[in-house]
Structure 1
Amino acid sequence: MCNDYEQHIAWAEYCRMMQLLALDIPTQQTELDLPQADDIRISDPAPIMRAVGDTIELTRMTFAFPPSGPKGGPIFNFRSEGRSFSNSKRCLIPASAFFEFTGKKSPKAKHRFTLN
């Protein structure tokens, strides 16, 4: 998982995608549930898409896995090999791009990755 991404998916684009997938948008959902942001980092509140019954809802959650112990920090690098996620409550993160950083000293070079 990256530790920085952007969310510039417009509400109209999100609605078109849901329509193409034949998925209903809950009536209480609005463009306020999909705020745009240039940088969403570990521990920031961010929109996610999750299954609720027969629909997909947008809601906000903290970006990262919860700490493994009371004094631990958020987990953002996670090895998935050999693990089962069949009963996990997975979600989708609406992101228009993600960032990776290179270099050994600050400030590191920031590289933007997108499908566009």
Structure 2
Amino acid sequence: MCNDYEQHIAWAEYCRMMQLLALDIPTHQTELDLPQADDIRISDPAPIMRAAGDTIELTRMTFAFPPSGPKGGPIFNF
């Protein structure tokens, strides 16, 4: 579904993949930055990857864009 997804990538698996791609992980990041979840739904916070200097960091972002107007709902499928 486009309004619900899972996150089952383990921290060790993520670290191996980043190492294979020769991408650095910030030293302050831990498995707490990549929580596993069976259901991540619209408006739930979820981990994302973004460039941060010479590294790729994990941070959290709400799943969906904010509504475009006061009466609209979150935008997640366009």
Q: Deviations over 1:23-82 (max 9, x none)?
A: 0000110000000000100100111111112211101110001211233211011xxxxx
* Bigger radius of gyration among the two: 1
Percent identity (aligned): 97
TM-score, scaled to structure 2: 0.92
Number of aligned residues: 77
Q: CA deviation at 1:7?
A: 0.4
Distance in 2, Cα, partners of 1:32 & 1:11: 9
Runs (4+) of structure 1 exceeding 4 A deviation are none
Distance in 1, Cα, partners of 2:43 & 2:56: 23
Distance in 2, Cα, partners of 1:60 & 1:71: 25
**Structure 1 regions of 5+ residues with no counterpart?**
78-116
Distance in 2, Cα, partners of 1:16 & 1:39: 24
**Structure 2 regions of 5+ residues with no counterpart?**
none
Q: Which moved more, 1:54-63 or 1:67-76?
A: 67-76
Instruction: Give the match for residue 96 of structure 1.
Output: none
Instruction: Give the match for residue 19 of structure 1.
Output: 19
Q: Deviations over 1:74-112 (max 9, x none)?
A: 1011xxxxxxxxxxxxxxxxxxxxxxxxxxxxxxxxxxx
Distance in 1, Cα, partners of 2:67 & 2:20: 37
SS in structure 1 opposite 2:24?
coil
Instruction: Give the match for residue 68 of structure 1.
Output: 68
Give the aligned CA root-mean-square deviation in angstroms.
1.3
SS in structure 2 opposite 1:57?
strand
TM-score, scaled to structure 1: 0.63
